[in-house]
Amino acid sequence: MSRVPLSAPTCELLRQVRVLDPVSQTDAIADVLLVEGSVVAIAPQLADIPAATKITAAAGQILAPGLVDLYAHSGEPGHEERETLASLSAAAAAGGFTRLTVLPNTQPPLDSPAAIAQMHRDWPPGARLQLWAALTRGLAGEQMTELGELAATDCVGFSDGQPLTDLNLVRRLLEYAQPLGKPLAFVASDRHLHNHGVAREGPQAIQAGLPASPASTETAALAALLELVAEVDTPVHFMRLSTARSVELVAAAKARGLPVTASTTWLHLLRDTTALTDYDPQLRLEPPLGNPRDRAALAAAVQQGVIEAIATDHTPYTYEETTVAFADAPPGALGLELALPLLWQEFVASGQWSALELWRSLSSAPARCLGTPPPRCAVGEAAELILFDPQPEWVVDAANLRSLSGNTAWRGATLRGRVQRLWLLSS
């Protein structure tokens, strides 16, 4: 596997490539001409092309908008042994993500304009870095950050990336952030119902003998948060939804006209409590994997757009940190380099979803959740594209992963499908 090139020749024709563009609902085989970083022409057969155009036969491959990740964790600053900004950027590019939104739980956390500026300064060329600024100082859930000053930075929104327990604080945050024009993202989880559970309550958790939390850990908190959003009309995104009932609550909130968007993670779509028998610490997640019924409801909700986006929630940990008992493992796992091939195989290759449905949930919808224009694969648009080949097989190992960490349940597995090329916007 060669490195994904970050720059393209100035004039290039992709012959008979499968073009996907969720915004225009395009899914067609075509010739695509790219000139100076822009899509100049898309047609079934292009004959009239400039001289010195590089021609690439791309039959069987997919040219589509770059992926947009809604939330990922960076090791740097604070845990460079897990992931550096360089390795994070490389992992994002290798996985097809042209925009990456990093959560503020670095050390120090992203709770000040200085910390945000520093991250942008240290970010290497590559995928576009977007940042969630912290909602509370030190992510302590007690006192709000200087949201007005933070809003003037180029952060895309505000989130602590973890549950807030004080509903009065949430209510004040929603009020205070109203004029700021950036979304707030929340994790719905009731601390008391959670009660240190590491699995979703149900027959599988009982048989595995794992401490479990009920689905109401998420849904009770989600219902409460939705009541607050109904009172204060600030745009809110709900992260990491993991239960069937959450889908119903979000659908009802949207039917009421509340300004809410939602996401789940790729792992909650691919695995459920039936995987607990392996006690793989890489599948210890927060919220925990749902029961099979939850997973089916989440997949249906993504397909229907009730849950707009799939996030990687990329969370690197070192070997030492994850070579522990399931219940002792820190929650989260790698995602950036694995999500697209595994989701493609599970949902698109199987015929469950259309290719456009998957691409919408990984690209245009997450961009819109952030209030940003989605990447396009259309004539006249700047090329923020990836070339994905769903066929080649590769082994998930240290040699193939750009991430510094290897904490994934698929370590050693052979995956099918890999990103071949990436076109990035020049910044």
Partner 1 sequence: MTQTVTWTRRHLLSLATFSPTEYDTVLQTAASFREVLTRRTKKVPALQGQVVANLFFEPSTRTRSSFELAAKRLSADTLNFAPGTSSLTKGETILDTANTYWAMGANIMVVRHRQAGVPQAIAQAMDQLQTGVRLLNAGDGQHAHPSQALLDLFTLCTQLDWEQPHCQLLQGKKIAIIGDILHSRVARSNLWSLVAAGADVHLAGPPTLLPVEFAAFSGVTLHWELSPAIADADFVMALRLQQERMSAHLLPSLREYRQQFGLTRDRLSVCQPTVKLLHPGPMNRGVEVSSELADAPDISLVPQQVTNGVAVRMALLYLLSNRGEQA
Contact between 181 and partner 1 per CB under 8 A? no
Which CB, 155 or 283, lies closer to partner 1?
283
- Per DSSP, 95 falls in state T
Q: Is 397 in the site for partner 1 (CB under 8 A)?
A: no
* 3-class DSSP state of 337: coil
Angle, nearest 10°, between helix axes 244-255 and 216-231? 10
- The sign of the dihedral angle between the CA atoms of 211, 247, 408, 162 is negative
Nearer to partner 1, 104 or 202 (CB): 202
The interface mask with partner 1, positions 227-266, x = CB under 8 A, is ----------------------------------------
Give catalytic residues, as residue numbers. 313
Q: Work out which of 32, 64, 110, 205 binds partner 1, going by CB under 8 A.
A: 205
Please give the DSSP secondary-structure letter assigned to residue 113.
H
H/E stretch holding 21 reads strand 11-21
Give yes or no for residue 211 binding partner 1 (CB under 8 A). yes
Residue 395 sits in the site that holds partner 1 (CB under 8 A): no
Among 29, 140, 167, 206, binds partner 1 (CB under 8 A): 206
Q: Give the pairing of strands 309-311 and 385-395.
A: unpaired
End-to-end CA gap in the chain: 27
β-strands 62-65, 67-72 pairing: unpaired
Q: Examine residue 279 and tell whether it contacts partner 1 (CB under 8 A).
A: yes
Shortest Cβ 329–partner 1 spacing (Å): 9
Nearest approach, Cβ of residue 283 and partner 1 (Å): 11
Cα(384)–Cα(12) distance, integer angstroms: 15
Q: 42: helix, coil or strand?
A: strand
CB of 406 to partner 1, least distance (A): 14
Binding segment for partner 1 (CB under 8 A), chosen from 33-41, 175-183, 217-225, 325-333, is 325-333
Residue 386 makes contact with partner 1 by CB under 8 A: no
Nearby residues of 55 by Cβ (< 8 Å), 6 or more positions away: 12, 13, 15, 49
> What per-residue string of b and e applies to 238-277 under the rule 16 or more CB within 10 Å gives b?
bbbbbbbbbbebbeebeeeebebbbbbbbbbbbbbbebbe
Q: Please report whether residue 28 would count as binding partner 1 according to CB under 8 A.
A: no
Q: Is 391 in the site for partner 1 (CB under 8 A)?
A: no
Asked if residue 163 has a cis previous peptide bond (ω within 30° of 0), the answer is: no
Least distance in angstroms from the C-beta of 244 to partner 1: 16
Rounded to a whole number of angstroms, the minimum distance from the CB of residue 333 to partner 1 is 16
**398 near partner 1 (CB under 8 A):** no
Q: How many Å is the Cα radius of gyration of the chain?
A: 21
**Residue placing its CB nearer to partner 1 in the complex, 101 or 204:** 204
Q: Which is nearer to partner 1, 48 or 320 (CB)?
A: 320
Convert 352-397 into a string of H (helix), E (strand) and C (coil). Answer: CCCHHHHHHHHHHHHHHHCCCCCCCCCCCCECCEEEEEEEEEEECC
Determine, following the binding rule CB under 8 A, whether residue 210 of this chain makes contact with partner 1.
Answer: yes
Smallest separation (angstroms) from partner 1 to the CB of 207: 7
Q: Is 208 in the site for partner 1 (CB under 8 A)?
A: yes
195 is a site residue for partner 1 (CB under 8 A): yes
Instruction: Mark the segment that binds partner 1 (CB under 8 A) among 196-204, 259-267, 366-374, 395-403.
Output: 196-204
Helix (H, G, I), strand (E, B) or coil at 114: helix
- Give the separation between CA 141 and CA 263, rounded to whole angstroms: 22
Nearer to partner 1, 121 or 196 (CB): 196
Single out the segment in contact with partner 1 by CB under 8 A; choices: 79-87, 89-97, 206-214, 228-236.
206-214
- Asked whether position 25 contacts partner 1 by CB under 8 A, the answer is no
**Chain positions contacting partner 1, by CB under 8 A:** 195, 201-203, 205-211, 278-279, 320, 323-328
